[in-house]
Amino acid sequence: MTERAAHPGPGPAAPFSAGTGRTAVEVPAGACDCHVHLYDARYPAVAGAKLLPPDAGADDYRLLQQRTGTARAVFVTPSTYGVDNRALLDALDAFGEAARGVAVIGPDTGDETLHALHARGVRGVRLNLSLGVANDAADLLPLARRIAPLGWHLQLLAPPDLLLGLAPALEALPVPLVFDHFGRLAPSMAGRHGAHALILRLLRAGRAWVKLSGGYIVSERPAPHDDLMPLARSCIEAAPERVLWGSDWPHASASAGHQPMPDDARQMDQLAQWAGTAGVLRRILVDNPAALYGFDLPPTTNRETS
C-alpha cells in the first residue's frame, strides 16, 4: 500500500481527541507520528492489564492524521495485549509503507517469529516497566541481545528512579535505545533528577533517542501544559538529530480518566513551539524517523537543518 498524503484544509473531529480542526502548523511532507496504538476487542487483554480502552482502529486514526498533518506512523503494541502483536500487525497491513512497528516480545518468542515481524515492518521492541505485565527489568539485556542481529532498537518506558538504577546497563546496550514519553520525567525533574542527566548524556553520545510523546501524562499543569517547554528544549538542544514526536493516540490513560483528553492538533502546535524553527521541526518529524525506522526521505528543496 502506498503512503497517503496529509489532507489540506480544516480537519474533522477524530475519535479519542479533544477539539476539532487542523493544526495551525505547516507540517512538512512525510511527517511521522512515532507513537500510536490501535485497540481491537477481537484480541483479548492479557491478565493484569491496567488499561482497557475501547476499540480504536485504522480508520479512526486516519481522521486524526487529517488534524495533525502527519502522513506516516509508528504503531506500538500497547501494554494491554502483552506479547500479542496481532493488533500491531493489522495496523501495519492497513498503512503499508507509511508505517513501521514496535512489538512486545517475551523470552519464548522464537527467531522465526522475529524475522516474520521484521518482514512486516517491525523495527524495535518495547520494554514497558511502568504499566507492562509482559517483561521486567531483568529482560533488558537479553532482549537487546536477541534483537541486535536484526538492527532493531529497544524502546524503554520506566519510572525515573528505576531508569537511573539501570544506567550501567543502558550505557552498555548493544542496540539503540529509545525513551518514550519524555523518559517519564516530570517537568519539575529537569536539571534535578539524575535520570534527566542520563538521558541527555545518552542523546549527546548518539546512543539513544527520545520521544516527545505523552506530554499530557508527565505534565504537572493543565492544558496547554506549558511546563513542558524547558524539558522538551533540553532534549532538542542536546541532540536535535535524536528527538522524535508522537501523539500517543488514542490516549488510553485519558480514556481511563487519569488525564483530560488532549487535543492532538494543539499537540502539534506545541511541538512547533518547542522546535523553534521549520528546519528543526522537519528534522524531528521527517529526518529523524527516517533514520531510526527506515523510511525513505521525501524529496525536498532548500532543506533547513537548524
The residues annotated as belonging to the active site are 248
Residue 138: phi and psi, rounded to 5, are -65, -15
Q: Which three cell numbers stand for residue 248?
A: 500517543
Helix 58-68 vs helix 264-275: angle between axes, to the nearest 10 degrees?
Answer: 40
SS3 call for 126: strand
- Residue 51 identity: L
SS3 call for 132: coil
Residue 246: phi and psi, rounded to 5, are -145, 145
**Cα–Cα distance between 127 and 278 in angstroms, integer?**
33
Helix 228-238 vs helix 194-204: angle between axes, to the nearest 10 degrees?
Answer: 30
Cis (ω within 30 of 0) for the bond into 10? no
DSSP 139-189: GHHHHHHHHGGGT-EEEEE--HHHHHHTHHHHTT-SS-EEE-GGGG--GGG
SS3 call for 114: helix
DSSP 12-58: ---TT--S-S--SS-PPTT-EEEEE--B-TTSPPPTT-S--PPPB-H
- Residue 263 identity: D
- Residue 225 identity: H
Q: Which three cell numbers stand for residue 53?
A: 480502552
